[in-house]
Amino acid sequence: MESTPSSLPACYEEPAYQVFLDSLDYLSPVEVDRIKAAFVYAAKAHAHQRRMSGEPYITHPLAVAGAVVEWRMDVDAICAALLHDVMEDAGASKHELAEKFGKEVAELVDGLSKLDKMEFASYQEAQAENFRKMLMAMARDLRVVLIKLADRQHNIQTMSAMRADKRIRIARETLEIYAPIALRLGLNKLYRELQDTSFRLIYPHRAAVLARALRTARGNREELLTRILDGIKNKLAHAGLLAEVFGREKSLYSIFHKMREKRLSFSQVLDIYGFRVVVDNVPACYLALGALHGLFKPVPGKIKDYIAIPKANGYQSLHTTLIGPYGTPVEVQIRTRDMHNVAQEGVAAHWLYKDDNESSADLQIKTHKWLQSLLEMQTSDSAEFFENVKIDLFPDEVYVFTPKGKIMALPRGATAVDFAYAVHTDVGNHCSAARINHELAPLRSELRNGDLVEIITSPQTSPTPVWLSYVKTGRARSKIRHFLRTTQNEASARLGERLLRQELLSLGVVPISIPADAWDSLVKSSGQRNMDEVYAEIGLGKRLPSVVARRLLAREDLSGGPGRGNMALAIHGTEGMAIQLAHCCQPIPGDPIIGSIRKGSGMVIHTHDCPAIRKSRSSEPQKWIDVEWEPEEGKLFDIRIKVEVKNTRGVLAQVAAAIAEAGSNIEHVAMDADPERLFTLLRFTIQVAHRNHLAGVMRGMRHIPEVTRIVRERGSEA
């Protein structure tokens, strides 16, 4: 590994490079020599390249390395920052970088390199894959994302020469992805800068108008702000507290976001100024809070204790909103110096403040856990992974308690299902109900700050596609999708095996009599890894059982002749995702039924007389398979019925009682009254075991004198 620099060309003896070298005073001479060598290598690699602004390209890696030095990171990170574009833009190899600068630097640069050599169907797909690679590299080494964020920071600061559409696209990407990652890592200063710069690039006119309004407001409120600041300082001094107090102005983007979200005008956003109080220790934070509540009245419900319950990104402070002079709301944050360091620099505080062991070490552990959770969300689909992680970058959080008193942070809007998956994947996969604050609640219930949540599990319960409509965390979404995919493949394989077996038996061939090499040959010719995958493709409708049977028997004369219809496939109707009962006709055991295999979704069962399939059955008879019910005890099926009744008091209760007496559950009820209000049409969804059970329910209702007509709803009637 080279550690001595080559002689620098004269053109690099410029002020920016000299300032950069001066900032390396916390490193040893040997480490500085390694950095000089990396700079020379990068300068030569980018010698003939220029940025769109016309500047030499080397100014960009130098600026990125300068930002990394501000965080006082180690020599490998600084070298990687200088070399971060040499693989992508100058064709340098990972092996060459490892030889010259060490394996660690080469790994960091590789993690930072984009996937420009790969072909993608769309920009969105390329963006998703690049994002996945960055996060996976980041999960292995946190320095990757810090360098990447510094790279993005400099890029959006220097985009004036770029085309407007490209500028806006990159700024939006920064706002949606990179700024939330900076916040998630606790890099609040960088987070605000990325937001404000992106805002100015996307909405230059709005940003300019807002900046002017802010300057005017600052001038108008100067006397008021000075009065509040002096009042806070005097009160804390009188309480015997040594504190540093300073005002802070809200960022342009945060003001714009508040105006847009709450539909406010600029004059209605009163809390554009806040105050920060920095004290020596944690007890002093609470003493300062008490002192300030004695100075100005606090706003109820606006006191937040992030010291006792830190945010997921390690942020700690006491927040309170006070009613200041003339009714002006005053937002105050109270924290220790260590908390202030972590609040400003997040995970970078680990390198910046070596003496701040407790806060930064705790944050490092939390960040590592989050990064590991990203690895668990891995899927084969980059766009899905991208979506899951974006969901997890929500800045707003709710804090809830487990029955044992452990605090868990979840994104705002998270439900009991999100909580279950946060506890453990198995708890999520089998959650059947929840107790929130000791009361039973539906799984889709949104959680609120301070809720005590207990999950009730059942071995019979499993995820359904409906859960995806209300979960909020990427982890829950990823685990549910994985379960559904696995379950569908297993159920489809079972259905496919039965379909192929039925096809072979109808041709007079017993499956067990077919030699093993014929099965092996079928698997190879289909391009699958095993027979289960072939069965799954048949069950999902991607392969026809007649074609597979022909290949298996190596015969060309099997086109699915007249003998095929002699055997019907037996089903229970409760097999799972591979066999679905059609919503249009809602077949139940006892109904004559027929099945159709839809490509990608398995078999759908209809009644023979379903109006919705009449046209398809006559035009595409080859797509339909004869099926029959196989008895299975204890299973209930949904069915819709219409009941016309005379409009008299208590008739709904009588009908409901008759349904219950017949041993049926009511899942849903709706009413349509006629204009003259003589009759009412009741629409029920009830649960029955089979056709005879339904007949018994209808008989029970006919005994009620007020009931004039009962009809089972079918097909397009629904």
Whole-number Å distance between alpha carbons of 401 and 437: 10
Architecture of the domain delimited by 396-472:
Roll (3.10)
Phi, psi (deg, nearest 5) at residue 528: -100, 170
CA nearest 443: which of 420, 462, 460?
Answer: 420
Lowest mean per-residue pLDDT among 19-28, 91-100, 394-403? 394-403
What's the whole-number mean pLDDT along residues 351-367? Answer: 57
Give, in order, the Cα–Cα distances in Å from 459 to each of 125, 417, 469, 491, 633.
38, 16, 23, 18, 19
Does the domain formed by 10-158 have CATH 1.10.3210.10?
yes
Res 461 pLDDT > 70 = yes
What HEC string does 593-655 produce? EEEEEECCCEEEEEECCCHHHHHHHHHCHHHEEEEEECCCCCCCEEEEEEEEEECCCCHHHHH
Q: Which two three-digit tokens encode residue 692?
A: 């005879």
Res 279 pLDDT > 50 = yes
Q: Which two three-digit tokens encode residue 532?
A: 């289960």
Give strand ranges (E) for 92-147.
none
526 or 73: which carries more pLDDT confidence? 73
CATH dotted code for 637-717: 3.30.70.260
Query: pLDDT tens-digit profile of 405-423?
Result: 887 878 888 899 999 998 9
Q: Which two three-digit tokens encode residue 473?
A: 């965390």
Whole-number Å distance between alpha carbons of 134 and 137: 5
Res 302 pLDDT > 60 = yes
Whole-number Å distance between alpha carbons of 339 and 357: 12
Whole-number Å distance between alpha carbons of 142 and 652: 64
Q: Which amino acid belongs to residue 598? A: R
What's the whole-number mean pLDDT along residues 502-518? Answer: 81
Does the domain formed by 208-360 have CATH 3.90.1300.10?
no
What's the whole-number mean pLDDT along residues 660-686? Answer: 82
**Residue 282 neighbours by CB under 8 Å, 6+ apart:** 307, 336
Where do the CATH 3.30.460.10 domains begin and end in the chain?
A: 208-360
What's the whole-number mean pLDDT along residues 257-269? Answer: 79
In DSSP notation, 167-219 reads HHHHHHHIIIIIHHHHHHTT-HHHHHHHHHHHHHHH-HHHHHHHHHHHHHHHH
Contact predicate 314/359, CB 8 Å: yes
Give, in order, the Cα–Cα distances in Å from 694 to each of 599, 604, 641, 686.
32, 22, 10, 9
What's the whole-number mean pLDDT along residues 288-296? Answer: 92
Of the residues 33, 74, 88, 356, only one is catalytic, namely 88
Where do the CATH 3.10.20.30 domains begin and end in the chain?
A: 396-472
Highest mean pLDDT among 129-138, 341-350, 400-409 belongs to 400-409
Of the residues 2, 31, 33, 89, only one is catalytic, namely 89
89 is an active site residue: yes
104 is an active site residue: no
Highest mean pLDDT among 14-23, 280-289, 356-365 belongs to 280-289
21 or 91: which carries more pLDDT confidence? 21
Query: pLDDT tens-digit profile of 425-449?
Result: 899 999 988 999 888 888 888 998 7
β-strand pairing of 569-571 with 624-629: parallel
Query: pLDDT tens-digit profile of 56-94?
Result: 888 889 999 998 888 888 899 999 999 988 887 767 788
Give pLDDT, residue 560. Answer: 42
